[in-house]
Amino acid sequence: MRKMLLASAAFFVAGAAAAVAAPSDGKVKIGILNDQSGVYADFGGKSSVEAAKMAVEDFGGSVLGVPVEIVDADHQNKPDIASNIARQWFDTNQVDAIMELTTSSVALAVQAIAKEKKKIDIVTGAATTELTGKQCSPYGFHWAYDTHALAVGTGGALVKQGGDSWFFLTADYAFGYSLEQQTSDFVKSNGGKVLGSVRHPLASTDYSSFLLQAQSSGAKVVGLANAGADTQNAIKQAAEFGITQGGQRLAALLFTLAEVHGLGLQAAQGLTLTEGFYWNRDEESRKFGERFLKRTGKMPNMIHAGTYSAVLQYLKAVQKAGTDETEAVAKVMHELPVDDVFGRGGTVGKNGRMIHDMYLLEVKKPAESKEPWDYYKVLATIPGKDAYIDPAKSGCDLVK
């Protein structure tokens, strides 16, 4: 009896969902969940929320005749806090999709919840390739960049430009190891060699010892497999110890415009890095950058532009699917080509990876910078198919 009741209830719910064409609850709600107060607050933070709002406005403020709403919260880089917020958003606040999700541990936790609850998540802020690898989700997407793309960009491309011997300064935790590992692989497969590495504790303040070791290794490139303030401090002190003046090249494996700005060109000049977006790329990106600058006081990095693109693409998919029901939207998301200021000519793999071009960039010298935020020289464009793992080889079991 009980089984029958359950079965009929399930039937009823399924039927009801299929019958509703328009968004179920009278609005489409997107949650931006990221670090708004900690070490990654400039990397994504409140500016990502603003980018999401810009996407909603550019889309017209409504989809399928119902308004689109952006909500946001600070996950403080803690997976448990993020999980609680995600559950609350999905269960009681009718949030349809969660995006941004800076910090890999948080992104993995929230993607697992979204998968369980059959909701969409689009990660722009986190780096791990696991999101579209072993832990992929049929409703999960990875949008702006990943450790593989960073490694290909900075590791592979730099070797081709003559930086064929490397020494790594690696943050002593999973993210640092995987970044070092993946980059080493590209350095080696391009004919370069790795002379050594040193593991530093997370959130060290002084890097001079490690830098001296890098200096005495004689490597042509010093790779910084760390993030945020760690990378900033390392770069600042490398300038002080004359690393770049001595002919060695500094390569930050995860570094964006926001951190370059915080460091200043004086200390950051000559640094090589990889991003998926640069505001001064062309007319379209400049226009987007100027609008973003007016609203936030800063130019967008790849996380901000990526979040804009993710929200826009999601709304396009809802429009095309004619509903905000997860399965239908996810299906369109996988098929619809991406074409906006961020992901030009982008495609989405079956594993949820958005494949788009990346840029190998060099930070300008103060004298070369012609206007505020004019920070990068584009050294090379890395085609999306080279930058990202082939979905078929990603280890994601959705790809057959």
Partner 1 sequence: MTMIFGVPLQALLGQLLIGLINGSFYALLSLGLAIIFGLLRMINFAHGAQYMLGAFTAYLLLTFAGIGYWPALILAPVIVGLLGTVVERLFLRRLYALDPLYGLLFTFGLALTLEGTFRYIYGASGQPYATPAALAGGTNLGFMFLPIYRGWVVVVSLVVCLATWFLIERTKLGAYLRAATENATLVQAFGVNVPVLLTFTYGLGVALAAFAGVLAAPVYQVSPLMGSNIIIVVFAVVVVGGMGSIMGSIITGYMLGIAEGLTKVFYPEASNIVVFVIMAIVLLIRPAGLFGREA
d(CA 249, CA 161): 11
Kindly state whether residue 299 participates in binding partner 1, applying the rule CB under 8 A. no
Asked if 259 interacts with partner 1 (CB under 8 A), we say: yes
Answer for which of 117, 118, 188, 199 binds partner 1 (CB under 8 A) is: 199
Site string for partner 1, 129-168 (x = CB under 8 A): ----------------------------------------
Among 18, 216, 218, 337, indicate the residue that binds partner 1 (CB under 8 A): 216
Q: How far is the CB of 204 from partner 1 (least distance, A)?
A: 7
* For partner 1, the closer CB: 40 or 90: 40
Structure tokens belonging to residue 360: 């190998």
Distance of CA 126 to the CA centre of its chain: 5
Q: Which stretch binds partner 1 (CB under 8 A): 3-11, 229-237, 275-283, 316-324?
A: 229-237
241 binds partner 1 per the rule CB under 8 A: yes
| Binding residue for partner 1, selected from 62, 84, 94, 237, defined by CB under 8 A | 237
* Residue 214 touches partner 1, criterion: CB under 8 A: no
Number of residues that bind partner 1 (CB under 8 A): 42
Alpha-carbon gap, residue 86 to 78, rounded angstroms: 12
Site for partner 1 in 351-380 (CB under 8 A): none
- Are the beta carbons of 289 and 308 closer than 8 angstroms? no
Q: Are strands 120-123 and 221-225 parallel, antiparallel or unpaired?
A: unpaired
Can residue 203 be called a binding residue for partner 1 (CB under 8 A)?
Answer: yes
How many angstroms separate the CA atoms of 297 and 137, rounded?
36
Strand arrangement of the beta sheet that strand 97-100 belongs to: 62-63, 66-74, 28-34, 97-100, 120-123, 140-142
Site map (CB under 8 A) of partner 1, residues 89-128, x = contact: ----------------------------------------
Q: Which two tokens stand for residue 379?
A: 């050294």
> In the window 12-71, what residues touch partner 1 (CB under 8 A)?
37-43, 45
Residue length of the chain: 400
Nearer to partner 1, 316 or 364 (CB): 364
**H-helix or E-strand spanning residue 33:** strand 28-34
**Burial track 170-190 (b if 16+ CB lie within 10 A, e otherwise):** bbeeebbebbbebbbbbbeeb
- Which whole-number Å values give the CA distances from 34 to 88, 309, 336, in the listed order? 15, 16, 26
Binding segment toward partner 1, per CB under 8 A, in 98-106, 123-131, 151-159, 224-232: 224-232
Residues found near partner 1 in the complex (CB under 8 A): 37-43, 45, 172, 198-201, 203-206, 208-210, 212-213, 215-216, 228-229, 232-233, 236-237, 240-242, 246, 258-259, 261-264, 266-267
